[in-house]
Amino acid sequence: MTKTLVTLKNASILQKDRPILRNVDLEINSGDFCYLIGSTGSGKSSLLKTLYGELPLIKGKGKIVGFDLRKLKTKDIPYLRRKLGIVFQDFKLLTDKNVYENLDFVLRATDWKDKTKRKFRIEEVLTDLDLTDKMYKYPFELSGGEQQRVSIARALLNKPELILADEPTGNLDPETSNDIMKVFKKLNKNGQTMLMATHDYALIYQYPSTTFKCEEGKLYEVQFEID
C-alpha cells in the first residue's frame, strides 16, 4: 500500500533567513526514488535541511514521515531523524572510531540498550553493503567509496522510512559514484524511499527517475531525454 511520506504545499524554503524557494509543492510516496537538482545556491540543501528539521518551515504546509514541519519543536527533531536516514557529501564519520564503533555510537544514541541486538543490526547492515571485512577499520583506512558506504550503513541502522542524500557522490570519482548509485538503486528496489540531491547529470541519465529542479526560486519536475 502506497503511503505519502513527504508533502509540501505552497511552502517557502529559507536560506540564511530569507526565502530562496517559494510556493513549493512536493509529494513523495513510499517506494519513490527522486532526484533533486539545481545550481549551487539554488536551494537544494536548504530544502533537505527543512525536511530534516535543521531549518524551520515558516510559510505553507509541510509533513514528513508523520511530522508536521510547521509545528515541529526542538524536542521533536531527534524523533523525526530516527525515521529518516541522512547521507552527506563529506561522510561525517567519527575519525577516532572504527566502522563498528561509528555505527554502535548511533544505535546507543537512539536508545538501543541491548548490546546483542546492536551487534546483530550492525552486522546486518554491513553485510547488506558488503562491508563486513571493514568492520574494524578506521575511516582513514578506507577509500572514499567505502567511507560513503559506511555512511549509508549508518543511515540504514534504524530502518528509516525515507533516506535524504545531499550530494552523496560529490566527493567521489565517476566509477565510485556509479558504485554508490548501484547501492542506492538496490535499496530502492527493495522498497527504500529516497530523495537525492545531486549535480551529477550523468548519473541521472544512467539511472533515470523522477527529477525535481530548483531554479529561480521555484521547484518543478523536469524530464530528461534518454538516448
pLDDT tens-digit profile of 105-135?
Answer: 999 999 999 999 999 999 999 999 999 999 9
In a domain, 137, yes or no: yes
Query: Domain containing 55: what range?
Result: 4-218
For residue 226, tell me if it sits in a domain. Answer: no
What's the rounded Cα separation, in Å, for the pair 93 and 139?
7
pLDDT of residue 2: 84
Residue 86 above 80 pLDDT? yes
Please check the confidence at residue 225 and state whether its pLDDT lies above 70: no
Residue 223 lies in a domain: no
pLDDT tens profile 188-200: 999 999 999 999 9
The pLDDT tens digits for 141-150 are 999 999 999 9
Is 103 within a domain? yes
Please report whether residue 227 resides in a domain. no
Q: Considering just the CA atoms, what is the radius of gyration of the chain in Å?
A: 17
CATH number, position 194: 3.40.50.300
pLDDT value for 32:
97
The length of the chain in residues reads 227
Give 218's strand partners.
215
Tell me which residue of 127, 146, 128 sits closest to 138, measured CA to CA.
Answer: 146
pLDDT of residue 224: 73
Q: What is the mean pLDDT of residues 89-113?
A: 95
pTM for the full model? 0.94
Q: Give pLDDT, residue 202.
A: 92
Q: Which residue has the higher pLDDT, 16 or 213?
A: 213
Determine the residue type at 24.
Answer: V
The average pLDDT across 22-45 equals 96
- The values of phi and psi at residue 87, to 5°, are -120, 130
Q: Is residue 225 part of a domain?
A: no
Number of domains in the chain: 1
Q: What is the mean pLDDT of the chain?
A: 94
In whole angstroms, what is the distance from residue 58 CA to residue 24 CA? 12
Buried b (16+ CB within 10 A) or exposed e, 50-84: bbbbebebebbebbbbebebeebeeeeeeebbbbb
In a domain, residue 163? The reply is yes
**Residue 166: inside a domain:** yes
Q: Quick one: residue 179, left, alpha or beta (phi over 0 = left, psi -120 to 50 = alpha)?
A: alpha
227 pLDDT more than 60: no
φ and ψ at 28, to 5 degrees?
A: -125, 130
Express each pLDDT in 154-193 by its tens digit.
999 999 999 999 999 998 999 999 999 999 999 999 999 9
pLDDT beyond 80 at 226: no
